[in-house]
Structure 1
């Protein structure tokens, strides 16, 4: 969920507050995947975003100017909630930033919303309204209730978990229980696993490492022991990441071990590493042009086809900018587009002009921001290809369609004139007492 974090802000008056939220601001709010609603001190809805309208089932114009409590709070709760809100507006109650309550949709369905709200004040400190960000937690609350009501469901979750789970005595190192998934992974029954213990489900030669990792987990030094060999009943060795969690049950320290089989992942990683050169050759030889720029819009690399267009070798592009290859006007456009995409963190799929062999052609371009492991935008990646012939074909089809439309209009007009002429002939024959010559629908 995206949260709108807004500090307490003083506004001189409600009119000024409304004026601040211009069209672009509303568009930004509409991108947030949470219900955002602004209420004035009377509880009137000043602004609500797209997600809010979708969640409540209303169109925006159906809510703006309406009283929030009359429109969106269940009748049996309406008076109580409204009284609390009015007291808050008067400063009679301590403000609660986080809270939950029921809302009512247009179709009469009740939903539980988790709210994060902020009071709005004018420059004199008078409370003028609220801005609230809400998340629909109806399904989550329902799930919590169901889990609480049935202990048996905990057992189902344990047995049907996607990961293998073993419950062990942290001090004695013996196993207490094992779920179905770990039984499938090791090809043992639960009884057999409990009898084997830690030393029985790992290869003997790897036991010193396994016991050392178990000790580190028990002491809280590590949470996950990665890439540990595990011995199955059929003698085959698989590899698992084992994540531990410790709990105290009746004064006894219990360890939960979550086994994730990474055997196939290890195999895939090996194959991926072995085929790295193949992928590099693929990128270098595909007909599309590919380039990579850093956050300063300086080229880092490109593939062979793009380098050919620029009449350079791929390695020569490093450190260059668009100004080194394109007319100033076009280079400025490319750089402005790249900067905008990095600032907005959005991918763009466009068709645009491009200079190739000193001729203008049309290309289909896809650009996307490049991020580091922390999610920070550190550059721009682009791929494009020539669509000049397609554009020419589209233009020819358009011209042909226009010609056909003109011909159709001419043909229809001629047919209408023939019908009118037949009507006139039938009328003359009728006046002379003769039968009609043409049957007209």
Structure 2
């Protein structure tokens, strides 16, 4: 009776295991050392478009092209020889409906107690949708990089610690790096002179504290040159309003600023010259009037008629009349 109970429990355990394996959406199979199938689950049956009963005892050459079968066989043998799991990506075509899928496949050798190879256990996880999403993301990232890299100004994104999360190529080149990825993770202190870097970080803190945009024109002085930039910074928030960091761009306005400064200098020179000229003319007029006064005092005709002072008219009461 005890043996009967044990046998029943074993059958129940086997049935439970079979139900579990068939419920798993991944492909699961077991092959012997010669590549013949010993077991497979329901999802694997869909791959080859037939029942497990028809699959058992056969190898991959029965179901797929010789090239594909050789590829599968090579991966099986590599796992067996390594004595450890081997991972690979395999494109397959489902015989049940003809659709193609990319499988992330892990093959593991199975040994008995004396170390003899029983076979190779395979698990294939469908990553077709995941890979498509990755490709879409990669393509979109490529588009965004192409867009940002062709902007005629510096663009950057920082986290709340003012570490660079992303920059465009012009920024990387201005910072002395070959590639934009070389800047990721660094701070202004790693790139710019200390005083300049601290000023940039202070601006970041101000923008994050106020959650307000900031736009300034500032002169950037490095060891090699002095450049003017129009700089814009803004806080970056997530959908819930939590602060993620800052975004900014800086446009080189050195040519325009140089012209503006030259115009301001010329205007100042013109104003100074004008004021100096007016002062000189006034002094000359005063001298002419003094000479005329001396000549009149001695009964002589004024030498400078244009500088003769016109007496202020007075009324009959002796007060100055309104002119």
**Category of TM-score, reference length = shorter chain:** 0.3 to 0.5
Which protein, 1 or 2, shows the higher relative CO under an 8 Å CA cutoff with sep ≥ 6?
Answer: 2
Larger radius of gyration: 2
